[in-house]
């Protein structure tokens, strides 16, 4: 005889919660800035949740780097992103926003992309107006499609949501770099009119530009706090005062992990174990979930032995 299933911790977080989109809507309704570290795999997402953050974003840049070892230049397929996204969404109970890039094709492709992200468990999906193949918003050489096509992409994403796959639409424009701030703001307003839930004007270059984005394009805005990028790194309180609802930190965890790994490799190459960089093995086990599983296994075995004796 085996013990009760309730004696074992769930392999995946329980889903007796409001849906991911509803949890994100509730967070946004609080009217306070949400600090959002971005993840790139299930472990980084779990650490974000364990640290107490209520929201994460699966960064396309970081996921392409971690999963493929490749730059964020449109090389990752939608299938690869969805595979990574399912693992991330399954690993946590906090809502996660997914990077849908350009939507991976025409209007029908965009609808299928949005449906895929919704069914993978994401709370929202980001669709942007770059030409394919896209690239990181803070590097040179990017181009955007015309405004009409950009708005059509958002309409296609909204149509997928209205067809029954509940998910929020995060509409991004990179037009600030290519066409100037006025065009970027005009696109953000058009995205809101098309039904987008969250607006993201990428790469503003001053605090004044950030203020204009929030005042001239009313809606829920996300700021991208990329260390070394084009946009000023402002403290959360200042971002909230400017009118932003979400502050994304897309590469902070990836950058920290890469730097620590390189330092560890340098130490090993020099013949020394880099103890100052290492998490205690007991802490690793606890955060990954080994301790909970071993305790549950012991309870399970004890019940089996008790039942055999009776």
CA distances from 284 to 138, 266, 295 (A): 34, 22, 16
What CA–CA distance (Å, rounded) separates 45 from 60?
A: 14
Give pLDDT, residue 309.
Answer: 61
Predicted confidence (pLDDT) at residue 240 exceeds the cutoff of 50: yes
Q: What is the pLDDT of residue 4?
A: 44
What pLDDT, in 10s, does the model give residues 246-285?
999 999 999 999 999 999 999 999 999 888 899 999 999 9
pTM for this structure? 0.89
Mean pLDDT of the chain: 91
Q: pLDDT tens, 100-157? A: 999 999 999 999 999 999 999 999 999 999 998 776 656 666 899 999 999 999 999 9
pLDDT average, residue stretch 166-195: 97
Q: Is the pLDDT of residue 238 over 60?
A: yes
Q: For residue 85, name the pLDDT band (cuts at 50, 70, 90).
A: very high
> What are the pLDDT digits (tens) for 213-224?
999 999 999 999
38, containing H or E segment: strand 34-39
Indicate whether 11 pLDDT > 70: no
pLDDT of residue 310: 61
Identify the sign of the CA torsion 29, 33, 38, 44.
negative
Per-residue pLDDT reduced to its tens digit, 46-68: 999 999 999 999 999 999 999 99
DSSP structural state of residue 41: S
Coil/strand/helix, residue 127: strand
DSSP annotation of 126? E
**pLDDT band (50, 70, 90) for residue 6:** very low
Where would I find the H helices in the chain? 20-29, 42-50, 60-68, 78-91, 107-120, 147-162, 175-179, 181-194, 207-216, 236-242, 252-269, 281-288, 290-309
CB under 8 Å to 121, separation ≥6 — which residues?
20, 85, 86, 89, 90, 96
| pLDDT of amino acid 138 | 60
Quote the CA–CA distance of 196 and 210 in Å, as a whole number: 19
Distance separating alpha carbons of residues 214 and 242, to the nearest angstrom: 7
| pLDDT attached to residue 293 | 84
Report the pLDDT value the prediction gives residue 2, as an integer from 0 to 100.
41
What per-residue confidence (pLDDT) applies to 126?
Answer: 98
Round to whole Å and give the CA distance between 190 and 170. Answer: 13
Number of C-alpha atoms within 13 angstroms, CB side, residue 166? Answer: 8
Least confident of 23-32, 132-141, 198-207: 132-141
Cβ neighbours for 137, distance < 8 A, ≥ 6 positions apart: 130, 172, 174, 177, 202, 203, 224
All structural domains of the chain, each given as residue ranges with its CATH number in brackets, are 20-253 (3.20.20.60), 260-309 (no CATH)
Task: Return the pLDDT at 306.
Answer: 64
């Amino acid at each position: 005889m085996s013990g009760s299933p309730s004696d074992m911790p769930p392999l995946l977080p329980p889903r007796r919660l409001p849906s991911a989109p509803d949890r994100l809507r509730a967070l946004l309704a609080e009217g306070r800035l949400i600090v959002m570290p971005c993840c790139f795999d299930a472990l980084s997402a779990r650490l974000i949740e364990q640290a107490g953050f209520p929201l994460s974003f699966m960064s396309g840049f970081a996921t392409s780097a971690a999963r493929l070892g490749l730059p964020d230049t449109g090389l990752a397929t939608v299938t690869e992103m969805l595979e990574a996204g399912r693992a991330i969404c399954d690993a946590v109970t906090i809502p996660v926003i997914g990077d849908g890039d350009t939507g991976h094709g025409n209007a029908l492709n965009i609808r299928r992309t949005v449906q895929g992200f919704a069914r993978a468990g994401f709370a929202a999906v980001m669709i942007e107006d770059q030409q394919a193949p896209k690239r990181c918003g803070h590097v040179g050489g990017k181009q955007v499609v015309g405004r009409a096509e950009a708005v059509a992409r958002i309409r296609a994403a909204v149509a997928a949501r209205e067809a029954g796959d509940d998910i929020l639409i995060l509409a991004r424009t990179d037009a600030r770099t290519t066409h100037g701030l006025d065009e970027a703001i005009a696109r953000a307003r058009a995205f809101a009119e098309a039904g987008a839930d969250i607006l993201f004007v990428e790469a503003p270059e001053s605090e004044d530009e950030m203020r204009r984005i929030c005042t001239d394009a009313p809606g829920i805005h996300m700021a991208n706090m990329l260390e070394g990028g084009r946009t000023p790194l402002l403290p959360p309180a200042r971002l909230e005062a400017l009118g932003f609802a979400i502050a994304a930190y897309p590469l902070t965890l990836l950058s920290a992990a890469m730097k620590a790994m390189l330092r560890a490799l340098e130490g090993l190459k020099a013949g020394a174990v880099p103890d100052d960089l290492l998490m205690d093995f007991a802490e690793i086990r606890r955060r990954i979930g080994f301790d909970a599983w071993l305790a549950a296994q012991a309870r399970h075995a004890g019940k089996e032995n008790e039942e055999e004796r009776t």
